[in-house]
Amino acid sequence: MSSPSGFKPVFFDRGGKRWPRARRLMVLFGLLAFLASVFFVQSLLIAPTLVLPLKLKKLKEQLRSLQKQTPAVTSAAATSDAALRSFYQSPKGARRLDALNRQLSPKPPRPPHAAREIRLGFYVGWDPASFDSLTAHADRLTHVCPEWFSLTASDGTFSGENDVALLEFMNENKQLTLLPLLSNAAGEGRVAEAVENLARATPEVQGRFVDNLKRRLGEIHAGGVLIDWQGIDPATEEELTNLLVKTADGLHDAGLQLWLQIPAGEERQVFDLTTLGDSVDFFVASLHDEASEEDTPNAIAAQNWFSSWLDAVASRGDPQQWVIGLGNYGYDWAVDSNAANRSGWQRADTISFADAMSRAAYAGEGSTESGAPEYNPSFDYTLAGVNHEVWFLDAVTFLNQARTAHAKGFNGLGISRLGTEDPQIWTALDLITPTPLSKSDLAQLSDLKTGKTITNIGEGEIVTADISPEDGRRRVELDERTSLLTTTYEKYPEYPSLYHQGAGGAHQVALTFDDGPDPTWTPKILDILRQKKVPAAFFILGQQAENYPGIVRRIVAEGHEFGSHTYTHVNLSLAGEQRTRTELNATQRLLETITGRSTTLFRPPYEADSRPSQLSEVAPLVVAQDLGYMTVMESIDPEDWERPGADVILQRVKQQRHNGSIILLHDAGGDRAQTVEALPQIIDYLRARGDQIVSLGQLLGTNRDALNPWLKAKDRSLAQVASSLGFQALHAAFGFLWAFMIVATALIVMRTLLVIVLALRQRRRSRAQIAVAGDAADPQPVSVIIAAYNEEKVIAATLRSVLDTDYAGEVEVVVINDGSKDGTGAAVRKMAEADPRLRLVEQENAGKSEALRRGVDLARHRLLVFLDADTLFQRDTLRYLVSPFADTRVGAVSGHARVGNLRSFIARCQALEYICGFNLDRRAYDAWNCITVAPGAISAVSREALQAAGGFRPETLAEDTDLTLSLHRRNYLVRYEANAIAWTEAPETIRALAKQRFRWCFGTMQCLWKHRDMLFNPKFKALGFFSLPSIWFFQIILVALTPLVDLLLLASVLLGSGRAVLPYLFTFLILDQLLAVLACVLEHEPLRRSWIMVPMRLIYRPLLSWVVWKSILSAARGVLVGWGKLERTASATVPSRA
Amino acid sequence: MKNRGDLPFQWRWCSVALVVVMLMWSPGCGRKTSANPPPHKKFDHPPKLVVPANGAYTGAYMEFGEREDNVSLEAIEEFEEQVGKHQAIVAFSSYWGEQHFPAEAARLVAAHGSIPLLFWSPWDWPYREDLVEVHGPDKYRLDNILAGQWDAYIDAWADDAKTLGTPLLVSLCNEANGYWFPWSATYYGGEKRLADSNPPRYAGPEFFKRVYRYVVDRVRARGATNVLWVLHLNNFSDPYAPWNAMEQYYPGDDYVDWLGLSVYGQLFPDDPKWEEFENMAETPYEEICKLSPTKPVMFAEWGVGEFPEKGSKADWISEGFEQMRTRFPRLHAAVYWHERWQNNKSMLYSNLKVNSSPAALEAYRRGIGTPYWLGNPVFR
């Protein structure tokens, strides 16, 4: 068979045009890439999912160091004072703190109160100011009346509070008597039926009621109960009186008192005071609410109204049995623009004295006075275009009323209520004397010191805070004519204030989601919002946005608003000013990078109650404002993060809907399945009750572009533009690699299993055939052909191993010396003289395929065996190798090459590779007749098959692969004989290995390309669909990409976001190890060989990958790569050999 | 080497590439599209309210505030939870003094799955009967209406009613055969007999009918065909005289869809006698049935106050449900008046609420619980 001349090596570019063209393109592309990457590289770091601009990187560094400084303190542990102190480190902050901390001079000890000088403090548990006032002034009180029992059911049962803090306080202050309130109030109204039905109930029911009451009063160590029942039908007067008498009797038996609240108005007629006076211990007349919330603006307790009421009581009863409740709060009436409201005024808000001061300070115009005839102060102000009228009671009205009462013989006073009072009433208490007041007395009431009470102005949950405390002043004078005091406010004290806006209409409500984005829940929520066509606002955590920028962009793309929720979900009350700033700045930069928009919306983590009571909660809001944020709180909080159940979440929204117009939900921070389940129900409910679900922009009368403005072009530096582009490219690249890794893992798993199954099958089958092969009746003659080039060192051993065989048939060995420069020829000649079976053929150097072709021509026999010059046969190798030819369909047989030298690490890696790579694969392929290469190191081919396949061709560097594939084309079987073992010498240095593998890889690529029509060709069945694609994917593509994937995995692990990545890393390693172990078991190799797998992957594989890339590059360059062991640089056109 | 019959090289590559690409994209395909809501049941024609063949709709007025139109979902749901049944009819007022159709309330009721029953009353704020006694009718007096003074209002009202789309019941100028409302026939000629009328006809009721027809015609002219007109009279005419009899008020078959009655037991604390339900309902039912042989009857208002010294409200309610179910076959709706108010002069309360006492509530729940009482309207 002569060599065809003018062959075209695969990938050879004869015209030489392909490379220059490609090179020009590559230069241009490289230049652009270089420019971009200069900017890009400086910001490239950290998480593989997001590239952060330098500014943000610095902020994150700051944040990290601050995080280490701030110890993790639970909010319960930190007191308000300590937290405040730690918050305000700056001089400005310290000044603020000083102003707030200024205390009144310490109070002198009081003498114990005179007999029957009752001081009753009305208390509520939901206002921390009430508790503060109680603790500060407990020594001035004798009785405490908390809102406690609620009688609203018609069967005589009532519910009770459980204010543990109050009970503990009362326990520590046993000189105070606890006198809880039993009322029939429900929401803003009264449940008359509850009392009327109890009054008409059977003695048994009433008896149960009294016993219940006694028991529960005993449980809380109360001294009695104050009954406050209103709205009762006067028709039930008799029954009611009997009920009260009965109750009084029952309580007295237990040593408890019954006090009765008598309403000041027509309603008092329902109580038969004469009869009740004998049973009830005290009557309480709350002489305020002359104008109540439902009325039009007027004095809350005008002096003459107050005075005439006292007269009425004094004329009918014993003043000593009465406690006169004095009001100390205010009402703020707003004009109602709704034409349907004929009164023109909305229902008034109840406000504290401090609130009134803040409003007056805010309005800034005119002065507030109190004088004849009401002696109640009032003022007007305008907020958001709406007019307001405020009437309130202060220490001066308190003193007027108290002195009037005292003069008429009433010694018992009630303070309604603790927490809303003018702080000066405690001074006023000392001035309740019969003697006229002096100027110095009045001067005591003129200082209005600021304090820590937080006042609220306006409606809505979007707040701006102002902490600039200032003291105030008023002028108190005595009206000689009436002996009553008048006031003129000269300067209003300024308290820490919260200005509210964004109340919206009665039927407007907004949805907000905190803590996101989360890849599981946020998309689901976005789907629901889109389907229901409902806008929402998302308060985003920086650390979440960093990991899931795509979801942030989706939030913006779907039209929702977004705000900042800090970076790390820190409790800002404990964090300090600097940390707060850093958190907010970092989050803002990040959101700008991701979306190109900034945000003016902010919501603090943990406490977003729109009426905060702790100053430490308000201080961070001031910082946020300085940075340009509006704080968005909430007043409808179903606490969905608690996971109480979707129906409970809906229920809570229903119950709290009246509180305000912003609903707080969470789209991250845990399992939000219940939130997702409840959301559509909440939307349906809101719509059913006539609400419109609006955006925050609509609540504020603006739009999203104002709340989330686009960054102006000039704000975006070139670096930012480049980094965001680079980020996108990198993100896309990483996204692709992730997907690739997942698919690759799946394919590897499948392939591994398949290979193992096939290998096992093949082994079982081959065992059965061994018996057959060994007893070949008529062993055919065999020609062994060896092409040698500079193999002086090893050729002798090789030949010896071949000649020393137990093959029964005739064996000849033909060695073609391909123009060796060393003593190869001499060594062979020497041996040939000794053994007639051995022949030496000399020729000019012409390349391996030429040499082999010559050898085939000169060989005499039909069965041809090929091996490399450095391969050692075993005695039985020939016998086994040739035995499959008993089947005439067999065209070639591949032997079992093993690595003989195991001295170096590289060699051992190759050994393992041979075991579980080449040989295991060949076993598997053998089962389906899809062996891709019968290796030149050890193989046998029949002459007719060789001829049919066209012999050894020079177009590729891997002529054995070429031949094998050609054999398959002609439907010859290619078998694998595992028992035909040959020991090959693996390269021991990396360099040598690289050269060898490059040759193999490039050669294989040439073959694959040459025979590319066999790929996915049904005609070639397993070859086309299994082994060839296997090579393409697992040996070329995967090997090329694996190092990138490994780098990605390593980078992820090192840089922190490794948790998601580790499973994949472990999967790959475990699979590789499993395969190695199985291969060793199958091949009867010692298992310890397999443990090299892990280091092999980390060191050896990258080398192979480099080889693959080099091959690909060479293919692209279209340059013919020569065959040889020495250094080669090929010229462009002529196949060259050294 | 290519053989005939081989797939072209490019085809094979494309199919392979396609498979690979699909594999790559599969992780992203897990996104579920959220289920679409079931399509809204739409009618080809405007839906019509079906009069139940055997059964009656139950409904209530649920204390909707001073102007009787402050309808909230919370109030409706609270009532329904108390009585244990969804209400087919929710009643509220549309006073002419408010000068607009209560669209929000009507929409809310319709969205809730109930039929609105509007008491459409030409009256000015503050809607107080004691002032009517003193001052007589106000600017919404019937002659003004007939003169066309309120045409624009009527037209706008009709347009809004039409926009609602779903059926609604309207009781125009209810209880005209009483004396306490400014549209009572008493104020418009009353008992004055019209000349040459045989059988005798009287000025008051005749004038009333003229105005009634005028208003209904106007509303219909605007296309509000979804309005069902209820001729809503008091169970006993007061003054109880022939000129004031129910039959005098019947405006004609084509102006009436439902015949309505107000049936109350003791309302005020100073009422002289506790009357049984039977006495308040039976004769009036027979009388109104005579006005038309076919039209369905409803008790557009019914209820009784809690006056335990006078009588048992629980029994009255129980008897009411029982008799409505068994003795009044043409009765196909009953709307309870659930309100508690304070009477100005005596300061005593009238408590008609279903839960004025546990016994009353229990009686109501039991009565309404039978399947005879339909909690959901049926449409055709």
Statement: residue A906 has pLDDT above 50: yes
Statement: residue A170 has pLDDT above 70: yes
Can you spell out the DSSP letters for A584-600?
Answer: HHHHHHHHHHHHSB---
Query: Per residue in B220-251, pLDDT tens?
Result: 999 999 999 999 999 999 999 999 999 999 99
Can you spell out the DSSP letters for A492-555?
Answer: --B--EEEEE----TTEEEEEEEEE--TTTHHHHHHHHHHHT---EEEE-HHHHHH-HHHHHHH
- In terms of pTM, does the model score above 0.90? no
Please tell me if residue B349 touches chain A, with a CB cutoff of 8 Å: yes
> In this structure, are residues A816 and A852 in contact, taking their beta carbons and an 8 Å threshold?
yes
Q: What is the pLDDT of residue A47?
A: 30
Q: What is the pLDDT of residue A1115?
A: 81
Among A353-362, A741-750, B66-75, B101-110, the least confident range: A741-750
Residue of A nearest to B8 (CA): A1013
First to last CA, chain B: 75
Statement: residue A185 has pLDDT above 90: yes
Q: Which positions in chain A touch B104 (Cβ < 8 Å)?
A: 507, 690
Among A85-94, A950-959, B95-104, B143-152, the least confident range: A85-94
Say yes or no for a CB contact (<8 Å) between B74 and A1019.
no
User: Which of A233, A748, A1028 is best to mutate for the B interface (most B CBs within 10 A)?
Assistant: A233
Nearest to B356 by CA among B321, B309, B306: B306
Alpha-helical segments (H) within A116-163? 128-137
Task: Considering only residues A28 and A976, tell me which one the structure prediction assigns the higher pLDDT.
Answer: A976
Say yes or no for a CB contact (<8 Å) between B358 and A689.
no
* Phi, psi values for residue B92, rounded to 5°: -155, 170
Q: Which amino acid is at B270?
A: D
Neighbours of A315 (CB within 10 A): 7
Say yes or no for a CB contact (<8 Å) between B348 and A235.
yes
Which of B347, B355, B357 is facing A234, going by the closest CB pair?
Answer: B347
Say yes or no for a CB contact (<8 Å) between B112 and A688.
yes
Distance CA A687, CA A510 (A): 12
Query: Per residue in A435-473, pLDDT tens?
Result: 888 888 899 999 999 888 889 998 899 999 988 889 999
Query: Per residue in A213-225, pLDDT tens?
Result: 999 999 999 999 9
Average model confidence (pLDDT) across chain B: 89
- Position B341 confidence tier, pLDDT thresholds 50, 70, 90: very high
Alpha-helical segments (H) within A972-1061? 990-1010, 1021-1022, 1028-1030, 1038-1054
- Position B219 confidence tier, pLDDT thresholds 50, 70, 90: very high
Q: What is the pLDDT of residue B36?
A: 36
Q: What is the pLDDT of residue A1016?
A: 77
Distances (CA, A) of A167 to A125, A159, A253, A420: 11, 17, 24, 21
Distance CA B78, CA B68 (A): 17
Please tell me if residue B33 touches chain A, with a CB cutoff of 8 Å: yes
Domain boundaries, chain B: 45-374
Statement: residue A49 has pLDDT above 60: no
Q: What is the pLDDT of residue A716?
A: 56
Which of B112, B308, B356 is facing A193, going by the closest CB pair?
Answer: B356
Helix (H) or strand (E) holding A1080: helix A1062-1082
> In this structure, are residues A625 and A604 in contact, taking their beta carbons and an 8 Å threshold?
no
User: Tell me, what DSSP letter sits at residue A638?
Assistant: -
Structure tokens at A753: 């299993």
Statement: residue B42 has pLDDT above 60: no
Q: Is A514 a known active-site residue?
A: yes
- Degrees (nearest 5) of the Cα angle A947, A949, A952? 80
Question: Which residue reads 């190869």 in tokens?
Answer: A824
Please tell me if residue B269 touches chain A, with a CB cutoff of 8 Å: yes
> In this structure, are residues A630 and A600 in contact, taking their beta carbons and an 8 Å threshold?
yes
Among A328-332, A791-795, B213-217, B245-249, the least confident range: A791-795
Distances (CA, A) of A240 to A192, A232, A272, A318: 12, 9, 9, 22
Query: Per residue in A727-737, pLDDT tens?
Result: 566 656 666 66
Rg (CA), chain A: 47
Nearest to B142 by CA among B111, B109, B87, B187: B187
Residue of A nearest to B100 (CA): A340
Please tell me if residue B81 touches chain A, with a CB cutoff of 8 Å: no
Query: Per residue in A395-406, pLDDT tens?
Result: 999 999 999 999
Q: Which positions in chain A touch B24 (Cβ < 8 Å)?
A: 739-740, 743
Residue of A nearest to B356 (CA): A193
Distance CA A825, CA A819 (A): 9
Distance CA A579, CA A571 (A): 10
* Phi, psi values for residue A598, rounded to 5°: -105, 175
- Residue B231, SS3? strand
- Position A1092 confidence tier, pLDDT thresholds 50, 70, 90: confident
- Residue A828, SS3? helix
Q: What is the largest CA-CA distance in chain B?
A: 118
Alpha-helical segments (H) within A929-989? 943-949, 959-969
Say yes or no for a CB contact (<8 Å) between B104 and A193.
no
Find how far residue B98's CA is from the centre of its chain: 18
Q: In A963-992, which positions are buried (b, 16+ CB within 10 angstroms) versus exposed (e)? A: bbbbbbbeebbbbbbbbbbbbbbbbbeeee
Q: What is the pLDDT of residue B33?
A: 36
Alpha-helical segments (H) within chain B? 9-25, 73-83, 103-111, 129-135, 142-146, 151-164, 203-221, 277-289, 313-326, 358-369
Give chain A's domains with CATH numbers. 505-716 (3.20.20.370)
Q: What is the pLDDT of residue A466?
A: 87
Q: Which positions in chain B touch A685 (Cβ < 8 Å)?
A: 73
Q: What is the pLDDT of residue A1032?
A: 82
- Residue B118, SS3? strand
User: Which of A190, A740, A1016 is best to mutate for the B interface (most B CBs within 10 A)?
Assistant: A1016
Distance CA A180, CA A805 (A): 111
Distance from CA of A972 to the nearest CA of B (A): 16
Write the CB contacts of A622 (distance below 8 Å, at least 6 apart in sequence). Answer: A465, A466, A467
Task: Considering only residues A416 and A1081, tell me which one the structure prediction assigns the higher pLDDT.
Answer: A416
Distance CA B101, CA B164 (A): 10
Which of A154, A524, A746 is facing B358, going by the closest CB pair?
Answer: A154
Statement: residue B102 has pLDDT above 80: yes
* Phi, psi values for residue A165, rounded to 5°: -60, -45
Share of residues in chain A with pLDDT > 90 (%): 42
Distance CA A637, CA A172 (A): 34
Helix (H) or strand (E) holding B117: strand B115-121
Q: In B289-311, which positions are buried (b, 16+ CB within 10 angstroms) versus exposed (e)? A: bebbeebbbbbbbbbbbbbbebb
Please tell me if residue B16 touches chain A, with a CB cutoff of 8 Å: yes
Q: What is the pLDDT of residue A1078?
A: 77
- Position A392 confidence tier, pLDDT thresholds 50, 70, 90: very high
> In this structure, are residues A662 and A510 in contact, taking their beta carbons and an 8 Å threshold?
yes
Catalytic residue (choose from A514, A868, A926, A960):
A514
Say yes or no for a CB contact (<8 Å) between B358 and A742.
no
User: Tell me, what DSSP letter sits at residue A1087?
Assistant: G
Q: What is the pLDDT of residue A74?
A: 42
Please tell me if residue B340 touches chain A, with a CB cutoff of 8 Å: yes
Q: Is A804 a known active-site residue?
A: no
Among A413-417, A429-433, A1065-1069, A1134-1138, the least confident range: A1134-1138
Query: Per residue in A606-660, pLDDT tens?
Result: 876 778 877 888 888 999 998 999 999 999 999 999 999 999 999 999 999 999 9
Statement: residue B45 has pLDDT above 50: yes
In B130-159, the residues whose Cβ lies within 8 Å of chain A are none
Distance CA A739, CA A497 (A): 54
Q: What is the pLDDT of residue A20?
A: 64
Strand order in the sheet with A811-818: A838-843, A811-818, A782-788, A863-867, A938-942, A890-899, A973-984, A871-873
Statement: residue A418 has pLDDT above 70: yes
Average model confidence (pLDDT) across chain A: 84
Distance CA B73, CA A657 (A): 12
User: Tell me, what DSSP letter sits at residue A670?
Assistant: S
Angle at which helix A959-969 crosses helix A990-1010, to 10 degrees, equals 30
> In this structure, are residues B97 and B68 in contact, taking their beta carbons and an 8 Å threshold?
no
Q: What is the pLDDT of residue B30?
A: 39
Can you spell out the DSSP letters for A868-883?
Answer: -TTEEE-TTHHHHHHG
Query: Per residue in B18-38, pLDDT tens?
Result: 666 665 555 444 343 333 333
Distance CA B244, CA B239 (A): 7
Can you spell out the DSSP letters for B344-363?
Answer: TTT--EEE--TTSSHHHHHH
Residue of A nearest to B125 (CA): A342
Helix (H) or strand (E) holding A742: helix A718-774
Distance from CA of A235 to the nearest CA of B (A): 6
Statement: residue B98 has pLDDT above 50: yes
Q: Which positions in chain A touch B348 (Cβ < 8 Å)?
A: 233-235
The CATH number corresponding to B45-374 among 3.20.20.80, 3.10.20.600, 3.90.1300.10, 3.10.105.10 equals 3.20.20.80
Among A13-22, A546-555, B158-167, the least confident range: A13-22
Statement: residue A38 has pLDDT above 60: no
Distances (CA, A) of B127 to A163, A600, B79, B100, B143: 45, 49, 25, 16, 19
Q: What is the pLDDT of residue A750?
A: 80
Neighbours of B18 (CB within 10 A): 10
Statement: residue A1097 has pLDDT above 90: no
Query: Per residue in A1021-1057, pLDDT tens?
Result: 888 888 888 888 788 888 887 777 777 767 666 655 5
Say yes or no for a CB contact (<8 Å) between A654 and B27.
no
Chains A, B: CB pairs < 8 Å:
90
Task: Considering only residues A25 and B188, tell me which one the structure prediction assigns the higher pLDDT.
Answer: B188
Distance from CA of B108 to the nearest CA of A (A): 6
Average pLDDT over residues A949-974: 88
